[in-house]
Structure 1
Amino acid sequence: MTSRRDFLTSAALLATGTLVAPSLLAAPKKRTIGIQLYTVRDAMAKDPAGTLAQLAKIGYNSVEGASYTGSQQFYGLTPKAFAALLKQNGMIIPSSHYRLGEEQENGAPVRGTMLHEWDRAVDDAAAAGVKYMVCAYLSEAERGGLDHYKYVADQLNKAGERCRKSGLQLCYHNHDFEFQAQDGGQLPYDLLLATDPKLVQMELDLYWVSKAGRDPIALFKQHPGRFPLWHVKDMDRTEKKFFTEVGNGSIDFKRIFAQAKLAGLKYFFVEQDSTPGSPFESVSKSMAYIKKNLS
């Protein structure tokens, strides 16, 4: 039987937060499942609030941005306003995509890129709650030969140092062209991996690395802990090897996810650049597979 003294002691402990109910201690941590917003780019351009609400209803609780470069806004919203909209939907934005900025638009530099107004981009990312700023893509004009990739690597280190000063981390997102051997059989991706690991980490796109004929796990073993971000995107079984819903193609995600700790995985994002119908239908199928097989 509980004495009055025991009751009062327990009440005091609960009031100070010292005593926690066993059921709360045993509560499972909610899995973070993200989506790259490029997948729903048209919907985000028209109705960001409605689009995020629909994605949250499907089960996504994390997003990766894709619209900041050039506009210096997140889908037409200030960083703080976009962060508030995400919070309303129970979402976070741990990562967002950016560009190098060598390429010009209408004869003018593109703002909010690594080469132009990067300080502003970093400050805005921090204000939105972003942890990882990702160099998303190199245009054909920004690739060139191995010497130019060395230049890109230098710029990544410099941009990464600026991120680090604000407590953020720079990453580089691959496609398949970085795995096309150049002079002497050297891969551009190896030059990008030669950046300072403290300043530049990697977002591995599982579709593009697989399409290039490379094994993600081999990369994890060669560079453990270097891949905190992944794009989870499947490749169909046709000759074209096109994008498809996660679990509907040829990539063995179970095998890859089994090495998440080796890779250093922190967040992953579903992405499907092109969908046969509604992107919401496709990302719903991907979510169903992930919850059943990868959670």
Structure 2
Amino acid sequence: MSGHVPPVAAQLWSLHEDASKDLLGVLERVAEIGFAAVEPISLYNHPPSVVRSALDRLGLGLCSMHVPFPSGADAAAVLDGCAELGVETLVWSLEPEEFGTLDGVLAGAERVNRAAANAAARGMRIAYHNHFAEFRNEFGGRWAYDVLLAELDPAVVVELDTYWVAVAGLDPARVAAGLGDRLEFTHLKDGPATGMDDHMVPFGEGTVDVAAAARANPAVRWHIVEADRSHQDMYELLRSCYDYLVGAGLATGRRPVEAS
């Protein structure tokens, strides 16, 4: 693979149950696997300064964080916590029902744009993360997802969950390639691609062409491994996915893997 090879991060929702009991222990195990960074979804009542200190001690970066859009009454509190942790990009999604009508999409876009303005005032930015409701309906011959992106402030970047694109019946690599420079983060996972209750499997053992999705867009800054649920031990699954990406030259990490 020529050109820039993105580093690989772990989305900590994959380890939500363990993290809710021992977040700092989870960070140690993620660092041992070799991930370059993490994408948290909660600090599980830890002060941001404590988590920041643990990340620095372990040599883990913070590629982004999943946190509700800072557009309402809680906006200042959300941004205060992110600033203390050192978050640069806040990532979240709209609700599935918001994609049922054009008015819903437009109203959702307004909320995200308010969040983007609030984040920018604090030196941060917003990324939009999809599920598959974004690809259920078309308005004027365009997917709801495309309508949304057109309405969003250009400063809002994209985190493409390639798995939910596959669940929607589309080709993740093709969607990724079409997003141009706006695509900065990919969520990579593999499985049957049938619905929200899917159990994830090691890369290469499911129905998603993870390699094609990972190669599709040279603008991507981070590949992020996520497994919503699995019948396997989650640490073993994450290690397998890490080895797949780094061994194939699709991502870089902190632990070398021989080329496969």
What TM-score do you get using the length of structure 1 for normalisation?
A: 0.75
Give CA deviations for 1:128-154 in whole Å, capped at 9, x if unaligned.
1212101145254x5542211110001
**Equivalent position SS for 2:64:** strand
Which stretch shifts more, 179-188 or 238-247? 238-247
Distance 1:57 1:135 in 2: 27
Distance 1:30 1:62 in 2: 15
**Equivalent position SS for 2:164:** helix
Which stretch shifts more, 232-241 or 277-286? 232-241
For residue 80 of structure 1, report the CA deviation from its aligned partner.
1.7
Distance 1:228 1:30 in 2: 12
Q: In the alignment, residue 148 of structure 1 is paired with which amino acid? A: G
Partner residue in 2 for 1:228: 184
For residue 97 of structure 1, report the CA deviation from its aligned partner.
0.8
Give the structure with higher Rg (CA).
Answer: 1
Partner residue in 2 for 1:106: none
Partner residue in 2 for 1:173: 129
What TM-score do you get using the length of structure 2 for normalisation?
A: 0.85
Partner residue in 2 for 1:17: none
The answer (yes or no) to whether the contact 1:94–1:129 under 8 Å persists in 2 is no
For residue 59 of structure 1, report the CA deviation from its aligned partner.
1.2
Give CA deviations for 1:183-241 in whole Å, capped at 9, x if unaligned.
65542212211134533111100100112122334334443111101101112388996
Distance 1:118 1:168 in 2: 13
Summarize the alignment of residues 198-209 of structure 1 with structure 2, pairs less than 5 Å apart.
198-209=154-165
Summarize the alignment of residues 112-127 of structure 1 with structure 2, pairs less than 5 Å apart.
113-127=70-84
Summarize the alignment of residues 34-53 of structure 1 with structure 2, pairs less than 5 Å apart.
34-53=9-28
Partner residue in 1 for 2:54: 85
For structure 2, the 5+ residue unaligned runs are 252-260
Q: In the alignment, residue 167 of structure 1 is paired with which amino acid? A: G
The answer (yes or no) to whether the contact 1:34–1:267 under 8 Å persists in 2 is yes
Partner residue in 2 for 1:250: 207
- Distance verdict in 2 for CA 1:259–1:277, change over 3 Å: closer
Distance 1:88 1:31 in 2: 22
For residue 281 of structure 1, report the CA deviation from its aligned partner.
1.5
User: Does residue 276 of the first structure (1) align with residue 231 of the second (2)?
Assistant: yes
Partner residue in 1 for 2:216: 259
Distance 1:227 1:283 in 2: 23
Distance 2:177 2:162 in 1: 15
For residue 254 of structure 1, report the CA deviation from its aligned partner.
2.5
**Equivalent position SS for 1:218:** helix
**Root-mean-square deviation (Å):** 2.5
For structure 1, the 5+ residue unaligned runs are 1-28, 68-73, 101-112
Partner residue in 1 for 2:66: 97
**Equivalent position SS for 1:166:** coil
Q: Does 1 or 2 have the higher relative contact order (CA < 8 Å, sep 6+)?
A: 2
Distance 1:236 1:114 in 2: 35
Q: In the alignment, residue 246 of structure 2 is paired with which amino acid? A: K
The answer (yes or no) to whether the contact 1:98–1:114 under 8 Å persists in 2 is no
Summarize the alignment of residues 129-208 of structure 1 with structure 2, pairs less than 5 Å apart.
129-136=86-93, 138=95, 140=97, 142-182=98-138, 185-208=141-164
Partner residue in 2 for 1:10: none
- Distance verdict in 2 for CA 1:87–1:209, change over 3 Å: same
**Equivalent position SS for 1:38:** helix
Percent of aligned pairs sharing the same letter: 28
- Count of residues in Structure 1 that have an aligned counterpart in Structure 2: 246
Q: In the alignment, residue 272 of structure 1 is paired with which amino acid? A: A
Give CA deviations for 1:12-41 in whole Å, capped at 9, x if unaligned.
xxxxxxxxxxxxxxxxx9973201100000
Distance 1:31 1:186 in 2: 30
**Equivalent position SS for 2:45:** coil
Give CA deviations for 1:63-86 in whole Å, capped at 9, x if unaligned.
11112xxxxxx2211222211111
